Protein backbone atom coordinates (compact mmCIF):
# COMPACT_ATOMS: atom_id res chain seq x y z
CA UNK A 1 0.00 0.00 0.00
CA UNK A 2 1.32 3.41 -0.98
CA UNK A 3 0.59 6.58 0.97
CA UNK A 4 0.63 9.81 -0.97
CA UNK A 5 0.29 13.43 0.10
CA UNK A 6 -1.71 15.95 -1.86
CA UNK A 7 0.45 18.83 -0.63
CA UNK A 8 3.42 19.56 1.53
CA UNK A 9 1.08 20.87 4.22
CA UNK A 10 -0.13 17.31 4.89
CA UNK A 11 3.23 16.21 6.32
CA UNK A 12 3.40 18.56 9.32
CA UNK A 13 -0.15 17.73 10.34
CA UNK A 14 0.59 13.99 10.35
CA UNK A 15 3.77 14.53 12.33
CA UNK A 16 2.09 16.90 14.77
CA UNK A 17 -0.55 14.35 15.75
CA UNK A 18 1.79 11.85 17.47
CA UNK A 19 3.72 14.76 18.98
CA UNK A 20 0.55 16.14 20.52
CA UNK A 21 -0.33 12.67 21.80
CA UNK A 22 3.15 12.30 23.28
CA UNK A 23 2.80 15.69 24.94
CA UNK A 24 -0.46 14.72 26.62
CA UNK A 25 0.98 11.38 27.72
CA UNK A 26 3.96 13.20 29.24
CA UNK A 27 1.60 15.63 30.98
CA UNK A 28 -0.51 12.74 32.34
CA UNK A 29 2.61 10.92 33.52
CA UNK A 30 3.80 14.02 35.41
CA UNK A 31 0.35 14.46 36.93
CA UNK A 32 0.17 10.89 38.25
CA UNK A 33 3.74 11.04 39.58
CA UNK A 34 2.92 14.34 41.28
CA UNK A 35 -0.12 12.80 42.96
CA UNK A 36 2.08 10.00 44.28
CA UNK A 37 4.86 12.38 45.38
CA UNK A 38 2.49 14.70 47.25
CA UNK A 39 0.07 12.02 48.39
CA UNK A 40 0.36 12.70 52.20
CA UNK A 41 -1.13 16.19 51.77
CA UNK A 42 -3.83 14.86 49.43
CA UNK A 43 -4.57 11.98 51.81
CA UNK A 44 -5.35 14.28 54.74
CA UNK A 45 -7.52 16.50 52.58
CA UNK A 46 -9.53 13.37 51.74
CA UNK A 47 -9.65 12.45 55.44
CA UNK A 48 -10.96 15.89 56.39
CA UNK A 49 -13.62 15.63 53.67
CA UNK A 50 -14.60 12.19 54.96
CA UNK A 51 -14.74 13.33 58.58
CA UNK A 52 -16.58 16.64 58.21
CA UNK A 53 -18.63 16.09 55.06
CA UNK A 54 -19.81 12.50 55.39
CA UNK A 55 -19.53 11.34 59.01
CA UNK A 56 -22.25 12.60 61.36
CA UNK A 57 -19.75 12.63 64.22
CA UNK A 58 -17.58 15.11 62.31
CA UNK A 59 -20.55 17.36 61.63
CA UNK A 60 -21.42 17.24 65.33
CA UNK A 61 -17.87 18.37 66.17
CA UNK A 62 -18.37 21.46 64.00
CA UNK A 63 -21.76 22.14 65.58
CA UNK A 64 -20.20 21.78 69.03
CA UNK A 65 -17.91 24.70 68.26
CA UNK A 66 -20.63 26.87 66.70
CA UNK A 67 -23.03 26.33 69.61
CA UNK A 68 -20.73 26.33 72.60
CA UNK A 69 -22.09 29.73 73.66
CA UNK A 70 -20.83 31.04 77.00
CA UNK A 71 -18.88 27.93 77.98
CA UNK A 72 -15.58 29.74 77.71
CA UNK A 73 -12.08 29.15 79.02
CA UNK A 74 -9.32 31.75 79.43
CA UNK A 75 -11.77 34.55 78.72
CA UNK A 76 -12.80 33.04 75.39
CA UNK A 77 -9.31 33.08 73.93
CA UNK A 78 -9.60 29.39 73.14
CA UNK A 79 -12.16 30.24 70.45
CA UNK A 80 -9.28 31.42 68.29
CA UNK A 81 -7.62 27.99 68.44
CA UNK A 82 -10.25 26.83 65.93
CA UNK A 83 -8.81 29.17 63.29
CA UNK A 84 -5.20 28.84 64.44
CA UNK A 85 -5.40 25.06 63.99
CA UNK A 86 -6.77 25.51 60.47
CA UNK A 87 -4.03 28.01 59.57
CA UNK A 88 -1.46 25.59 60.99
CA UNK A 89 -2.76 22.70 58.86
CA UNK A 90 -2.84 24.82 55.70
CA UNK A 91 0.69 26.12 56.25
CA UNK A 92 2.10 22.66 57.02
CA UNK A 93 0.35 21.19 53.98
CA UNK A 94 1.61 23.92 51.66
CA UNK A 95 5.16 24.46 52.86
CA UNK A 96 6.11 20.86 53.62
CA UNK A 97 4.96 20.01 50.09
CA UNK A 98 7.00 22.97 48.85
CA UNK A 99 10.11 21.45 50.50
CA UNK A 100 9.48 18.14 48.72
CA UNK A 101 9.20 20.05 45.44
CA UNK A 102 12.55 21.72 46.10
CA UNK A 103 14.23 18.36 46.67
CA UNK A 104 12.76 16.96 43.45
CA UNK A 105 13.72 20.08 41.53
CA UNK A 106 17.33 19.93 42.76
CA UNK A 107 17.58 16.24 41.80
CA UNK A 108 16.47 17.01 38.26
CA UNK A 109 18.82 19.98 38.00
CA UNK A 110 21.71 17.78 39.17
CA UNK A 111 20.87 15.25 36.44
CA UNK A 112 20.96 18.02 33.84
CA UNK A 113 24.20 19.38 35.28
CA UNK A 114 25.83 15.95 35.19
CA UNK A 115 24.66 15.16 31.67
CA UNK A 116 25.57 18.54 30.15
CA UNK A 117 28.67 19.43 32.15
CA UNK A 118 27.23 22.86 32.92
CA UNK A 119 27.82 24.86 36.09
CA UNK A 120 25.11 25.00 38.78
CA UNK A 121 23.88 28.41 37.65
CA UNK A 122 23.85 27.37 33.97
CA UNK A 123 22.08 24.10 34.80
CA UNK A 124 19.39 25.96 36.75
CA UNK A 125 18.87 28.40 33.87
CA UNK A 126 18.66 25.56 31.34
CA UNK A 127 16.30 23.63 33.62
CA UNK A 128 13.87 26.53 33.99
CA UNK A 129 13.97 27.07 30.22
CA UNK A 130 12.98 23.49 29.33
CA UNK A 131 12.07 20.78 31.85
CA UNK A 132 9.16 18.97 30.22
CA UNK A 133 11.20 15.81 29.64
CA UNK A 134 11.91 15.27 33.37
CA UNK A 135 9.99 12.89 35.61
CA UNK A 136 7.93 15.76 37.11
CA UNK A 137 8.16 19.07 35.29
CA UNK A 138 8.40 22.46 36.95
CA UNK A 139 4.76 23.27 36.27
CA UNK A 140 3.53 20.57 38.67
CA UNK A 141 6.26 21.17 41.24
CA UNK A 142 5.26 24.84 41.45
CA UNK A 143 1.49 24.38 41.48
CA UNK A 144 0.78 21.23 43.49
CA UNK A 145 1.71 22.74 46.90
CA UNK A 146 -0.42 25.81 46.14
CA UNK A 147 -3.37 23.67 45.06
CA UNK A 148 -2.98 21.61 48.24
CA UNK A 149 -3.20 24.71 50.46
CA UNK A 150 -6.25 25.96 48.57
CA UNK A 151 -7.88 22.53 48.79
CA UNK A 152 -7.48 22.51 52.59
CA UNK A 153 -9.40 25.77 52.96
CA UNK A 154 -12.05 24.93 50.36
CA UNK A 155 -12.72 21.58 52.07
CA UNK A 156 -13.38 23.31 55.40
CA UNK A 157 -15.40 26.14 53.89
CA UNK A 158 -17.67 23.60 52.21
CA UNK A 159 -17.83 21.60 55.46
CA UNK A 160 -19.31 24.65 57.21
CA UNK A 161 -21.75 25.16 54.32
CA UNK A 162 -22.97 21.58 54.90
CA UNK A 163 -23.10 21.91 58.68
CA UNK A 164 -26.49 21.59 60.44
CA UNK A 165 -25.49 24.74 62.34
CA UNK A 166 -26.19 26.71 59.15
CA UNK A 167 -29.84 25.49 59.17
CA UNK A 168 -29.97 25.56 55.35
CA UNK A 169 -26.81 23.77 54.35
CA UNK A 170 -25.94 22.35 50.95
CA UNK A 171 -25.83 18.61 50.28
CA UNK A 172 -22.66 16.55 49.84
CA UNK A 173 -23.05 16.06 46.08
CA UNK A 174 -23.26 19.80 45.45
CA UNK A 175 -20.31 20.32 47.79
CA UNK A 176 -18.26 17.82 45.78
CA UNK A 177 -19.02 19.64 42.53
CA UNK A 178 -18.23 23.02 44.10
CA UNK A 179 -14.96 21.63 45.47
CA UNK A 180 -13.52 20.93 42.03
CA UNK A 181 -15.04 24.04 40.42
CA UNK A 182 -13.60 26.29 43.13
CA UNK A 183 -10.18 24.66 42.89
CA UNK A 184 -10.07 25.38 39.15
CA UNK A 185 -11.17 28.98 39.71
CA UNK A 186 -8.63 29.45 42.48
CA UNK A 187 -5.89 28.04 40.25
CA UNK A 188 -6.53 30.78 37.67
CA UNK A 189 -7.01 33.47 40.32
CA UNK A 190 -3.67 32.49 41.87
CA UNK A 191 -1.99 32.66 38.47
CA UNK A 192 -3.43 36.12 37.80
CA UNK A 193 -2.22 37.34 41.19
CA UNK A 194 1.23 35.87 40.57
CA UNK A 195 1.67 37.21 37.03
CA UNK A 196 -0.10 40.58 37.19
CA UNK A 197 -0.93 41.81 40.68
CA UNK A 198 2.00 40.69 42.85
CA UNK A 199 4.36 43.17 41.17
CA UNK A 200 2.04 46.12 41.85
CA UNK A 201 3.30 48.77 44.27
CA UNK A 202 0.32 48.42 46.62
CA UNK A 203 0.38 44.64 46.86
CA UNK A 204 2.21 44.59 50.22
CA UNK A 205 -0.21 47.18 51.61
CA UNK A 206 -3.19 45.01 50.59
CA UNK A 207 -1.61 42.02 52.31
CA UNK A 208 -1.13 44.01 55.52
CA UNK A 209 -4.72 45.25 55.47
CA UNK A 210 -6.10 41.71 55.06
CA UNK A 211 -3.77 40.50 57.83
CA UNK A 212 -5.07 43.20 60.19
CA UNK A 213 -8.67 42.31 59.33
CA UNK A 214 -7.96 38.64 60.07
CA UNK A 215 -6.36 39.47 63.44
CA UNK A 216 -9.31 41.71 64.36
CA UNK A 217 -11.70 38.88 63.52
CA UNK A 218 -9.70 36.57 65.78
CA UNK A 219 -10.06 39.11 68.59
CA UNK A 220 -13.77 39.30 67.84
CA UNK A 221 -13.99 35.52 68.08
CA UNK A 222 -12.20 35.54 71.44
CA UNK A 223 -14.19 38.40 72.94
CA UNK A 224 -17.53 38.72 71.14
CA UNK A 225 -19.35 42.01 71.71
CA UNK A 226 -22.96 43.11 71.39
CA UNK A 227 -24.16 39.55 72.10
CA UNK A 228 -22.56 38.30 68.88
CA UNK A 229 -21.63 34.64 68.81
CA UNK A 230 -19.15 32.66 66.74
CA UNK A 231 -21.78 31.02 64.57
CA UNK A 232 -21.42 29.26 61.22
CA UNK A 233 -21.65 32.49 59.20
CA UNK A 234 -18.96 34.17 61.29
CA UNK A 235 -16.66 31.13 61.06
CA UNK A 236 -17.18 30.93 57.28
CA UNK A 237 -16.39 34.64 56.94
CA UNK A 238 -13.15 34.26 58.92
CA UNK A 239 -12.13 31.27 56.77
CA UNK A 240 -12.72 33.25 53.57
CA UNK A 241 -10.55 36.10 54.90
CA UNK A 242 -7.90 33.52 55.85
CA UNK A 243 -8.11 32.11 52.33
CA UNK A 244 -7.54 35.54 50.78
CA UNK A 245 -4.63 36.03 53.17
CA UNK A 246 -3.13 32.71 52.08
CA UNK A 247 -3.34 33.62 48.38
CA UNK A 248 -1.68 36.96 49.02
CA UNK A 249 0.98 35.44 51.28
CA UNK A 250 2.19 32.74 48.88
CA UNK A 251 2.47 35.26 46.05
CA UNK A 252 4.17 37.83 48.27
CA UNK A 253 6.67 35.11 49.19
CA UNK A 254 7.36 34.43 45.50
CA UNK A 255 7.89 38.14 44.84
CA UNK A 256 10.22 38.43 47.84
CA UNK A 257 12.45 35.46 47.00
CA UNK A 258 12.71 36.48 43.33
CA UNK A 259 13.91 39.92 44.39
CA UNK A 260 16.51 38.62 46.85
CA UNK A 261 17.79 35.38 45.34
CA UNK A 262 20.72 36.87 43.37
CA UNK A 263 22.02 38.83 46.36
CA UNK A 264 21.67 35.85 48.70
CA UNK A 265 23.39 33.57 46.19
CA UNK A 266 26.35 35.95 46.12
CA UNK A 267 26.58 35.87 49.90
CA UNK A 268 26.45 32.07 49.94
CA UNK A 269 29.45 31.90 47.59
CA UNK A 270 31.50 33.98 50.04
CA UNK A 271 30.62 32.06 53.20
CA UNK A 272 32.79 29.44 54.85
CA UNK A 273 30.99 26.05 54.62
CA UNK A 274 32.39 25.03 58.02
CA UNK A 275 30.72 28.02 59.72
CA UNK A 276 27.17 27.34 58.59
CA UNK A 277 24.51 27.53 61.30
CA UNK A 278 22.30 24.55 62.10
CA UNK A 279 19.42 26.18 60.21
CA UNK A 280 21.58 26.63 57.11
CA UNK A 281 22.73 23.00 57.29
CA UNK A 282 19.13 21.80 57.49
CA UNK A 283 18.13 24.00 54.55
CA UNK A 284 21.04 22.74 52.44
CA UNK A 285 20.23 19.14 53.32
CA UNK A 286 16.62 19.53 52.14
CA UNK A 287 17.64 21.63 49.11
CA UNK A 288 15.75 24.72 50.34
CA UNK A 289 17.09 27.96 48.82
CA UNK A 290 18.88 30.12 51.38
CA UNK A 291 16.68 33.06 50.43
CA UNK A 292 13.81 31.29 52.23
CA UNK A 293 15.48 31.28 55.66
CA UNK A 294 12.72 33.45 57.14
CA UNK A 295 9.96 31.18 55.85
CA UNK A 296 11.72 28.09 57.19
CA UNK A 297 11.97 29.68 60.63
CA UNK A 298 8.26 30.53 60.48
CA UNK A 299 7.50 26.94 59.49
CA UNK A 300 9.52 25.51 62.40
CA UNK A 301 7.95 27.89 64.92
CA UNK A 302 4.47 27.00 63.67
CA UNK A 303 5.24 23.30 64.10
CA UNK A 304 6.45 23.94 67.66
CA UNK A 305 3.31 26.01 68.40
CA UNK A 306 1.07 23.27 67.06
CA UNK A 307 2.82 20.67 69.21
CA UNK A 308 2.47 22.85 72.32
CA UNK A 309 -1.25 23.45 71.74
CA UNK A 310 -1.76 19.75 71.13
CA UNK A 311 0.03 18.83 74.36
CA UNK A 312 -1.84 21.51 76.34
CA UNK A 313 -5.11 19.95 75.24
CA UNK A 314 -3.86 16.48 76.20
CA UNK A 315 -2.61 17.52 79.64
CA UNK A 316 -5.27 20.10 80.56
CA UNK A 317 -8.88 18.93 80.46
CA UNK A 318 -10.33 22.44 80.88
CA UNK A 319 -8.29 23.71 77.93
CA UNK A 320 -9.39 20.73 75.82
CA UNK A 321 -13.03 21.45 76.62
CA UNK A 322 -12.52 25.12 75.84
CA UNK A 323 -11.14 24.57 72.34
CA UNK A 324 -13.67 21.78 71.52
CA UNK A 325 -12.68 18.59 69.65
CA UNK A 326 -12.35 20.14 66.17
CA UNK A 327 -8.89 21.74 66.66
CA UNK A 328 -7.70 18.50 68.21
CA UNK A 329 -8.62 16.60 65.06
CA UNK A 330 -7.02 19.19 62.76
CA UNK A 331 -3.87 19.42 64.89
CA UNK A 332 -3.60 15.62 64.94
CA UNK A 333 -3.94 15.48 61.17
CA UNK A 334 -1.32 18.24 60.84
CA UNK A 335 1.20 16.35 62.97
CA UNK A 336 0.69 13.16 60.99
CA UNK A 337 0.93 15.14 57.74
CA UNK A 338 4.23 16.70 58.84
CA UNK A 339 5.55 13.22 59.63
CA UNK A 340 4.27 11.81 56.34
CA UNK A 341 5.83 14.58 54.30
CA UNK A 342 9.10 14.21 56.24
CA UNK A 343 9.18 10.55 55.20
CA UNK A 344 8.37 11.59 51.63
CA UNK A 345 11.22 14.12 51.69
CA UNK A 346 13.70 11.42 52.69
CA UNK A 347 12.20 9.06 50.10
CA UNK A 348 12.64 11.61 47.31
CA UNK A 349 16.12 12.60 48.46
CA UNK A 350 17.47 9.04 48.62
CA UNK A 351 15.20 7.57 45.89
CA UNK A 352 13.98 4.92 48.31
CA UNK A 353 10.29 4.37 49.06
CA UNK A 354 10.40 4.61 52.85
CA UNK A 355 6.59 4.60 53.00
CA UNK A 356 6.56 1.09 51.55
CA UNK A 357 9.21 -0.06 54.03
CA UNK A 358 7.22 1.36 56.96
CA UNK A 359 4.02 -0.32 55.73
CA UNK A 360 5.84 -3.65 55.47
CA UNK A 361 7.29 -3.27 58.97
CA UNK A 362 3.86 -2.36 60.36
CA UNK A 363 2.41 -5.44 58.69
CA UNK A 364 4.93 -7.97 59.96
CA UNK A 365 6.10 -6.41 63.22
CA UNK A 366 3.06 -6.10 65.45
CA UNK A 367 2.70 -5.78 69.20
CA UNK A 368 0.66 -8.07 71.38
CA UNK A 369 -2.79 -6.98 72.42
CA UNK A 370 -2.58 -4.76 75.51
CA UNK A 371 -6.16 -3.49 75.73
CA UNK A 372 -7.60 -6.33 77.78
CA UNK A 373 -11.16 -6.12 79.05
CA UNK A 374 -11.56 -6.93 82.71
CA UNK A 375 -14.31 -9.48 83.27
CA UNK A 376 -15.92 -10.94 86.34
CA UNK A 377 -17.39 -14.43 86.73
CA UNK A 378 -21.12 -14.77 86.31
CA UNK A 379 -21.53 -17.22 89.21
CA UNK A 380 -24.37 -16.17 91.42
CA UNK A 381 -25.48 -13.35 89.16
CA UNK A 382 -29.21 -13.45 88.71
CA UNK A 383 -29.64 -16.39 91.09
CA UNK A 384 -32.35 -14.54 93.01
CA UNK A 385 -34.53 -14.29 89.96
> Taking a C-beta distance cutoff of 8 angstroms, is the pair 313, 319 a contact?
yes
Could you tell me if residue 303 is inside a domain? no
> Taking a C-beta distance cutoff of 8 angstroms, is the pair 79, 221 a contact?
yes
Could you tell me if residue 29 is inside a domain? no
Could you tell me if residue 212 is inside a domain? yes
Annotate 14-42 with b (16+ C-beta within 10 A) or e (fewer): eeeeeeeeeeeeeeeebeebbeebbebbb
- The total of structural domains in the chain comes to 1
**Using CA atoms in the order 49, 50, 51, 57, what is the torsion angle rounded to 10 degrees?**
130
- Report the pLDDT value the prediction gives residue 8, as an integer from 0 to 100: 42
- Report the pLDDT value the prediction gives residue 320, as an integer from 0 to 100: 81
pLDDT tens digit at each of 385 positions of the chain: 444 444 444 444 444 455 565 677 888 888 889 999 999 999 999 999 999 999 988 888 888 877 665 445 555 667 788 898 999 999 999 999 999 999 999 988 888 888 888 877 787 888 878 777 788 888 899 999 999 999 999 999 999 999 887 777 789 999 999 999 999 999 999 999 998 888 888 899 999 999 999 999 888 887 765 445 567 888 899 999 999 999 999 999 888 888 888 788 787 777 877 788 898 999 999 999 888 988 899 888 888 888 888 888 888 888 887 788 888 899 999 999 999 999 999 999 998 888 888 888 877 876 666 666 666 666 655 554 4
Given CA atoms 295, 296, 297, 300 in this order, what sign does their dihedral have?
positive
- Report the pLDDT value the prediction gives residue 345, as an integer from 0 to 100: 93
Could you tell me if residue 28 is inside a domain? no
Task: Print the domain residue range for 52.
Answer: 34-268+309-361
- Report the pLDDT value the prediction gives residue 103, as an integer from 0 to 100: 94
Could you tell me if residue 177 is inside a domain? yes
Find, among 289, 342, 327, the residue nearest to 92 by Cα.
342
DSSP 277-311: -HHHHHHHHTT--GGGHHHHHHHHHHHHHHHHHHH
Rg, the chain, Cα only? 26
State how far the alpha carbon of 148 is from the alpha carbons of 14, 41, 70, 96, 228, in Å: 39, 7, 35, 11, 33
Could you tell me if residue 157 is inside a domain? yes
Find, among 345, 353, 384, 327, the residue nearest to 99 by Cα.
345
Could you tell me if residue 273 is inside a domain? no
Provide the CA 243 distance to its chain's centre, in angstroms.
13
369: DSSP letter? P
- Report the pLDDT value the prediction gives residue 176, as an integer from 0 to 100: 95
> Taking a C-beta distance cutoff of 8 angstroms, is the pair 330, 310 a contact?
no
- Report the pLDDT value the prediction gives residue 73, as an integer from 0 to 100: 53
Determine how many CB atoms are found less than 10 A away from the CB of residue 369.
6
DSSP 111-157: HHHHHH---HHHHHHHHHH--TTSSS-HHHHHHHHHHHHHHHHHHHH
Could you tell me if residue 82 is inside a domain? yes
> What is the biggest distance separating any 2 CA atoms in the chain, rounded to whole angstroms?
105
In a 3-state reduction of DSSP, which class is residue 242?
helix
Determine how many CB atoms are found less than 10 A away from the CB of residue 139.
14
- Report the pLDDT value the prediction gives residue 14, as an integer from 0 to 100: 43
Given CA atoms 146, 149, 150, 155 in this order, what sign does their dihedral have?
positive
Find, among 156, 183, 153, 158, the residue nearest to 244 by Cα.
153
- Report the pLDDT value the prediction gives residue 7, as an integer from 0 to 100: 44
Those residues whose C-beta lies under 8 Å from the C-beta of residue 163, and which sit 6 or more positions away, are 59, 62, 63, 66, 169, 232
Determine how many CB atoms are found less than 10 A away from the CB of residue 257.
16
Phi, psi torsion values for 136, nearest 5 degrees: -130, 120
Amino acid sequence: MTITFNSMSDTPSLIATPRRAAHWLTWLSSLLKSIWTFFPALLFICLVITCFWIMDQGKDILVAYMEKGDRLYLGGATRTVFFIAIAFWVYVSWYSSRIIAYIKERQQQDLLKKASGKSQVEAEAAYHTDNDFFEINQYFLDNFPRIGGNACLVALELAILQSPALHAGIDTVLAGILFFVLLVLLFFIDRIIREKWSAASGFVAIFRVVLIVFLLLLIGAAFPVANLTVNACFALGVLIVLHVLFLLYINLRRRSIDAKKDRVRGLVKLEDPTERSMLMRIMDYFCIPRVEAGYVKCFFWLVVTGILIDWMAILNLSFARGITPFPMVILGFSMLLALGNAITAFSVRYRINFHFIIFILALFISRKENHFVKTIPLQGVGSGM
